[in-house]
Amino acid sequence: MNAKIIELKSFKELRNNRQSQLEYQAYIDSLDKLELLNEMIRYQEKRSEKDELTHELLEQGLILFRTLELEADTDALQALARSYRRHLEYEAADRRAKQS
Q: State the virtual CA torsion across 53, 58, 60, 65 in degrees, nearest 10.
A: 110
Structural domain of 64: 2-99
Q: Look over the chain and give the mean of its residue pLDDT values, rounded to a whole number.
A: 89
pLDDT of residue 51: 84
Count of the separate structural domains present in the chain: 1
pLDDT, tens digit, 9 for 90 and up, residues 32-62: 999 999 999 999 999 999 888 998 999 999 9
Strands (E), 1-100: none
Tell me the pLDDT band of 9, cut-offs 50, 70 and 90: low
